[in-house]
Amino acid sequence: MDILKKIEKLLHEAHEIKQAHRERMSKLNSERSLWSEEEFEKRKKKLENEKKALLNDGYLRMTEALKELSAELETLDKQAPDLKNTELVHALRIIEMTGETLSYEQLSAINNCFIGQFGKLKVIHSLHEKKKMVNNGGIEKLLISSAPNMDKLNEFSYSLFYQEGSVNALARQIGKIAELVAQPFQTNIDGSAFERSIRSGAGLPEEK
């Protein structure tokens, strides 16, 4: 899914904007004695406005990207499976004949053979339900229905671009979707986020 690469790039851009702003503010604060209070506030406001403009543009592009992601996931979820597929037929036969006696790990191993193949996973899940199997190997975790919904993603996106939300927080949510479709996705984009959180919680300034 190319859209995941696009979203990852947008997250990196948001991180770079915020990081650049922190560095520029740090520099301005270090030079505070050079300016009058009025000039300092003027320069500070200029930096804030520049950051807001860049992040606003990023938010609009992220909103469109999330809509595209939602549409692609919906398409994947509606794809009809090939019911004659050898692996699927074999898996269904095993579950039909011995499903109730299989362990969670064994059923999970069967499910994992179809990661990202949502039509096939739904067929397998239907058989679990037909047989009223309590143990299904956690197949729900592999279905698109387990993915963060768009309202949640938009909430994390708004927090990132307009509040003090973490780029990693949104990246982790998207990462859950990437796992479902078996695609790589970077979730630790801001490597220094944890350290900044600790310093902030302790009332310490950011390191220069």
Which pLDDT value is given to residue 191?
A: 80
Q: What is the C-alpha to C-alpha distance for residues 31 and 40, in angstroms, rounded to an integer?
A: 9
Which pLDDT value is given to residue 100?
A: 86
Which pLDDT value is given to residue 205?
A: 52
For the chain, percent of residues with pLDDT exceeding 90? 88
Which pLDDT value is given to residue 175?
A: 97
Beta-carbon-side half-sphere exposure of residue 100 (alpha carbons within 13 Å): 6
| Domain boundaries of the chain, sorted by first residue | 1-208
Angle at 10 between CA 71 and CA 22, to 5 degrees: 150
Q: For residues 81-99, give the mean pLDDT.
A: 94
Which pLDDT value is given to residue 153?
A: 97
- Average pLDDT of the chain is 91
Q: What is the C-alpha to C-alpha distance for residues 94 and 17, in angstroms, rounded to an integer?
A: 53
Q: What is the C-alpha to C-alpha distance for residues 183 and 172, in angstroms, rounded to an integer?
A: 13
Indicate the pLDDT class of residue 99, thresholds 50, 70 and 90.
Answer: confident
Indicate the pLDDT class of residue 192, thresholds 50, 70 and 90.
Answer: low
Instruction: Please give the model's pTM, rounded to 2 decimal places.
Output: 0.85
Q: How many residues does the chain have?
A: 208
Q: Is the pLDDT of residue 204 over 80?
A: no
Q: What φ, ψ does residue 32 adopt, rounded to 5°?
A: -55, -35
Q: For residues 34-55, give the mean pLDDT.
A: 96
SS3 177: helix
Which pLDDT value is given to residue 166?
A: 92
Of 26 and 201, which is predicted with more confidence? 26
Indicate if the alpha-carbon torsion angle 204, 159, 60, 65 is positive or negative. positive
Which pLDDT value is given to residue 176?
A: 96
